[in-house]
Amino acid sequence: MPGTAAPAQVTIYFIDVEGGQSTLIVTPDRHSFLIDTGWAGDGSGFSPGDQRAARDANRIVAAAHDAGVTRIDTLLITHFHPDHDGGVSELAQLMPIGVFVDHGAPDPGAGSNVPETAAAFAAYEKVRATGTRHLMPRPGARLPIAGIETTVVSSAGATLAQPLPGAGEINSSCPAQAPPPRDPYENPRSTGVLVAYGAFRFLDVGDLSGAPLYALGCPRDLIGAVDVYLVAHHGGPDVADPATFAAFRPRVAVMNNGVSKGGARVTYQALHRVPGLQDVWQLHRSAAAGDANFPDAYVANLDESRAYWIKLTARRDGSFRIENPRTGAWHDYGARDLKARSRGSLSPIPDRAPANPG
Ligand SMILES: [Zn+2]
């Protein structure tokens, strides 16, 4: 709640945009950092319309209001696909946007795979021109956001040249080469960020897949252990490589899949076997994943009748809470023993059911 007595914490909303991405990060002094804007209009293709009726832009505004913010200070567009940049025109009608961060322009081949790319980018460019600044940071750069440390780990196909402090161990579970990406044009160009607040670390790489995702974890881990990993590319089948999870060593994974978009069964199966992974939270139950879905208590939306977000609050000591507003339940995760951040056994462990939240 806004007010002087509120404890210092960072809040992250994983907003349900039906298989696109929109993640809102609000700092203790209520700077707002939005990563992607979901889809335009009613969520089909790219068809922006009346902002008052725009599905995803209004869901973003609802999350912002829940956090007590009335503007987006910094917007990162991870890459130029309409499930990520589609909602920006309508959002800009509802809420001012200050700084724009991206990797410039779509790959020239992007339209051959996603036909709406050019129209969505043209609309985005118009909105971007109204911002206070436009940044195109390279991997290793820090974004100018007060209260959190935001490090760019990938952009326009490039990745960190050196390990972040504390990272750099050899990852013995790497395959000989990167699994091929489903989309070879824009997804591998995603701008990914590591957001740190004290000891708390959150990794969001957009739809990074193929060689750049592999490069962050193989042959050496360049990121180090994170508390929370937003599984790349909505948990599609091209991000299921166990070597990635072995490199990032998340305590919690979040899946921004829709009912039928992302959320591949093979990725859920891989997550069930990640050593040290305590829980997986899903924005939607995945139709394709079947019995590999995690328990309903960890799922924000069992169908498309409502749109619940997943809300995370993190403290400087690295402890955090994740809430499921659909059920009213939450789970608290304590500060991690720093010694536990070092790599343990990389051999798979058997499937096990997560504990109940709350
Ligand atoms: Zn996407």
**DSSP β-bridge partners for residue 158:** 155
* C-alpha span between 59 and 75 (Å, rounded): 16
158-159: strand order across its sheet: 158-159, 149-155, 192-197, 200-204, 228-230, 252-255, 279-284, 299-301
Domain definitions of the chain by residue range: 10-333
State both tokens at 127. Answer: 């909105």
Please give the distance of CA 165 from its chain centroid, rounded to a whole number: 22
Measured in angstroms, how far is the CA atom of residue 339 from the centroid of ligand 1?
35
Measured in angstroms, how far is the CA atom of residue 233 from the centroid of ligand 1?
6
Poorest-confidence range of 1-10, 40-49, 53-62, 179-188? Answer: 1-10
Among residues 243, 242, 237, the alpha carbon closest in space to that of 261 is found at 237
Measured in angstroms, how far is the CA atom of residue 70 from the centroid of ligand 1?
26
Measured in angstroms, how far is the CA atom of residue 345 from the centroid of ligand 1?
32
CA end-to-end span of the chain, whole Å? 21
Please give the distance of CA 37 from its chain centroid, rounded to a whole number: 12
pLDDT tens for each residue of 181-227: 999 999 999 999 999 999 999 999 999 999 999 999 999 999 999 99
Handedness of CA 229, 234, 239, 240 (dihedral sign): positive
Measured in angstroms, how far is the CA atom of residue 3 from the centroid of ligand 1?
36
Measured in angstroms, how far is the CA atom of residue 235 from the centroid of ligand 1?
10
Whether pLDDT at 163 is above 90: yes
**DSSP β-bridge partners for residue 134:** 100
Measured in angstroms, how far is the CA atom of residue 313 from the centroid of ligand 1?
24
| Residue range 32-40: mean pLDDT, rounded | 98
Measured in angstroms, how far is the CA atom of residue 22 from the centroid of ligand 1?
10
pLDDT tens for each residue of 100-144: 999 999 999 999 999 999 999 999 999 999 999 999 999 999 999
Model confidence band, residue 35 (pLDDT cutoffs 50, 70, 90): very high
Measured in angstroms, how far is the CA atom of residue 68 from the centroid of ligand 1?
27
pLDDT tens for each residue of 257-306: 999 999 999 999 999 999 999 999 999 999 999 999 999 999 999 999 99
Model confidence band, residue 5 (pLDDT cutoffs 50, 70, 90): low
Determine how many CB atoms are found less than 10 A away from the CB of residue 299: 22
Measured in angstroms, how far is the CA atom of residue 234 from the centroid of ligand 1?
6
pLDDT tens for each residue of 307-345: 999 999 999 999 999 999 999 999 999 998 755 544 433
State both tokens at 6. Answer: 């509120």
Measured in angstroms, how far is the CA atom of residue 232 from the centroid of ligand 1?
9
- CA-CA-CA-CA torsion for 109, 110, 115, 119, nearest 10 degrees? -110
Provide CB contacts within 8 A for 65, sequence distance 6+: none
Measured in angstroms, how far is the CA atom of residue 30 from the centroid of ligand 1?
27
Question: What is the structure's pLDDT at 336?
Answer: 84
Model confidence band, residue 7 (pLDDT cutoffs 50, 70, 90): confident
Whether pLDDT at 72 is above 50: yes
* C-alpha span between 232 and 341 (Å, rounded): 21
Please give the distance of CA 317 from its chain centroid, rounded to a whole number: 22
Provide CB contacts within 8 A for 3, sequence distance 6+: none
CATH number belonging to domain 10-333: 3.60.15.10
| Residue range 68-77: mean pLDDT, rounded | 98
Question: What is the structure's pLDDT at 4?
Answer: 54
Whether pLDDT at 354 is above 80: no
Question: What is the structure's pLDDT at 351?
Answer: 32
Measured in angstroms, how far is the CA atom of residue 316 from the centroid of ligand 1?
30
pTM equals: 0.93
Measured in angstroms, how far is the CA atom of residue 165 from the centroid of ligand 1?
29
Query: Is there a cis peptide before residue 219, judged by omega within 30 degrees of 0?
Result: yes
Question: What is the structure's pLDDT at 6?
Answer: 63
State both tokens at 323. Answer: 């809430």
* C-alpha span between 277 and 349 (Å, rounded): 11
Question: SS3 for 217?
Answer: helix
Measured in angstroms, how far is the CA atom of residue 4 from the centroid of ligand 1?
38
State both tokens at 166. Answer: 């504390």
Measured in angstroms, how far is the CA atom of residue 82 from the centroid of ligand 1?
8
* C-alpha span between 140 and 197 (Å, rounded): 17
Whether pLDDT at 28 is above 80: yes
